[in-house]
Amino acid sequence: MQSAATSVREYLDSLPAERRAIVEAVRDVILANLDSGYSEAMQYGMIGYAVPHSVFPAGYHCDPKQPLPFAALALQKNYVSLYLMGLYFGCTCDSETDEAKWFREAWANAGKKKLDMGKSCVRFKKLDEVPLDVIGQAVRRMPAQLYIERYQLGLATAKSGRPGRKPNLEA
């Protein structure tokens, strides 16, 4: 559900108390681990974490007026969504990135509820289902400069039609 809130505080205040506590706990972990090259603001009706134009002037290729999205956090009708875009840069239809593989393994090793995840969207209903330390590590593992480099490589790869990842020679 997209919110019409214009500030993170307004967004949080609009949430039901029990579900707001879940969003705030995840937000606290993100903020504690977020590289200084990112900023927090409302983006696309969600709490967004993005590379601001002051760091990456080109902005988001789909809408250059927007800063480059990195992560987002939102309350949906039946669950909370955490979008971690850095996990899927370089994914193809038949493979996922090393970051996504690491995330899936770290989540499983944490002993929490089975991961409910699309390419970059992690869905959960209760805070005790979420290994907050894994979320923190995932955010910390992707400083803004590394994210920008992978983003630019992904764009160049898409334009050239050539794969941007090294082949897995161990398979």
pLDDT digits (tens, 9 = 90+) for 113-168: 899 988 779 999 999 999 999 999 999 999 999 999 989 988 887 776 655 444 33
Provide the pLDDT for residue 128: 93
Q: Do 31 and 39 form a contact (C-beta atoms < 8 A)?
A: no
Query: Average pLDDT, stretch 6-27?
Result: 94
The sheet carrying 121-124 orders its strands as 39-43, 46-51, 68-75, 80-84, 121-124
Q: Rounded to two decimals, what is the model's pTM?
A: 0.87
Q: Provide the percentage of residues in the chain whose pLDDT is more than 90.
A: 68
Helices 132-140 and 17-33: angle between axes, nearest 10 degrees: 40
From 3.20.20.150, 3.90.1150.200, 3.10.450.50, 2.60.40.1180, which CATH number describes the 8-155 domain?
3.90.1150.200
Mean confidence (pLDDT) of the chain: 87
DSSP annotation of 65 reads: T
Provide the pLDDT for residue 89: 67
Per-residue tokens: 123: 């869905």
pLDDT tens-digit series, residues 78-103: 899 999 998 876 555 556 788 889 99
Counted residue by residue, the chain has a size of: 171
Strands (E), the chain: 39-43, 46-51, 68-75, 80-84, 121-124
